[in-house]
Amino acid sequence: MLTYTSGRNLFGKLTNNEESANLTLGDTLINESIRAIVRSKPWPFLFKTNTNTINTVASQQFYTLPHDVEQVVAITITVGGTIYHAKAAPSREFWNKLNEYTNSSTLPEWFFVFNGQVGFYPTPSAASNAITISYKRRIFDLAIADYTTGNISSIAITAIAVTGSGTTWTAKMGGRYLRITDSDTANTGDGAWYEISSVSSATALALRPTYAGATIAAGSAAYTIGQVSVLPEQYQELPIYRACQIYFTSIQPDATRARMYADMVAQGMNDMKQELSSNDTNPVIEDTGRSRINANLYISATA
């Protein structure tokens, strides 16, 4: 993985300028490059389903969407082991018309997204039915330095629970990645990156998927927690190369270097398209066409 810290350091080395002001410029160019790459195609890695459980609540119509939803693709509700697809309300007017009549059911037929929430009609009448949301995720800027304070004292092979010592982990580290430093000695990690699914205390967090390295017990292993881009690991250098292309085109003009990095970006983009492109922009199999719903839409009193 190329973390925020390692990415900006690489930019400094490639531009032969590791001063703070240049690294800050690199932050802007790298984040803009990530967005440009993401905009170029509906990449499969942009789509996901909610990882945190959302359940229906009897008589509750509206539910908060995951924080990283950009566009809702599809929603299903599981009732008694059977998965049911809700249909997207085609317009706010249609949604308002539906809600002129109060109705409830265990099987909501329609959903409507606005202001970071999703509403169902009929209103769910039963509790604890799982809501699964398939969506395109938002892209957040990389801006958080690697965290390496303290050490890893324990984690078991095939487990997800990690215990730290001298650490001050916080809930906001969920979604970042952790790597326990590898070495030939006992009670060290496997050097692989694992997503942090949640942080329960300053010294306890959970991974996703399970840990594949050797068990650490009463250890003091070095580690890194890093913020990484949405791009697949093998292509995380592309935004750095594109940032360098822009740098040597306009900031410090150097036609030879600008062309070199442009070629590296073009080759990397071509490789990524061949490996990851899909003819279907919607990774969810559905029996009817459904449009994507922008999660940031909201009702305006004057509209």
Which has the closest alpha carbon to 68: 148, 141, 155, 168? 141
Q: Which amino acid is present at 59? A: S
**Is the distance from CB of 52 to CB of 133 less than 8 angstroms?**
no
Angstrom CA distances, 132 to 83, 104, 170, 251, 289, stand at 9, 19, 27, 46, 18
160 Rama sector, left if φ>0, alpha if ψ -120 to 50, beta otherwise: alpha
Per-residue model confidence (pLDDT) at position 232: 95
CB 128 within 8 A of CB 55: yes
Are 282 and 46 within 8 A, CB to CB? no
Q: What is the pLDDT of residue 153?
A: 97
**pTM summary value:** 0.84
Is there a cis peptide before residue 232, judged by omega within 30 degrees of 0? no
CA distance linking residue 34 with residue 243, whole number of Å: 9
pLDDT for 168: 98
**CA angle, residues 201, 184, 216, in degrees to nearest 5:** 30
Rounded to whole angstroms, the Cα distance separating 145 from 243 reads: 19
- How many residues does this entry show for the chain? 303
Cα Rg of the chain (Å, integer): 23
Q: For 251-273, b where at least 16 C-beta lie within 10 A, e where not — what string? A: eeeeeebbeebbebbeebbeebe
Q: Which residues pair with 161 in a beta bridge?
A: 206
- CB count within 10 Å of CB 40 equals 11
**pLDDT given for residue 290 in this prediction:** 47
Two tokens at 60?
């509750």
- Give the pLDDT of the chain (303 residues) as one tens digit per residue: 999 999 999 999 999 999 999 999 999 999 999 999 999 999 999 999 998 899 999 999 999 999 999 999 999 999 999 999 999 999 999 999 999 998 999 999 999 999 999 999 999 999 999 999 999 999 999 999 999 999 999 999 999 999 999 999 999 999 999 999 999 999 999 999 999 999 999 999 999 999 999 999 999 999 999 999 999 999 999 999 999 999 999 999 999 999 999 999 999 999 999 998 754 444 444 444 445 555 555 444 443
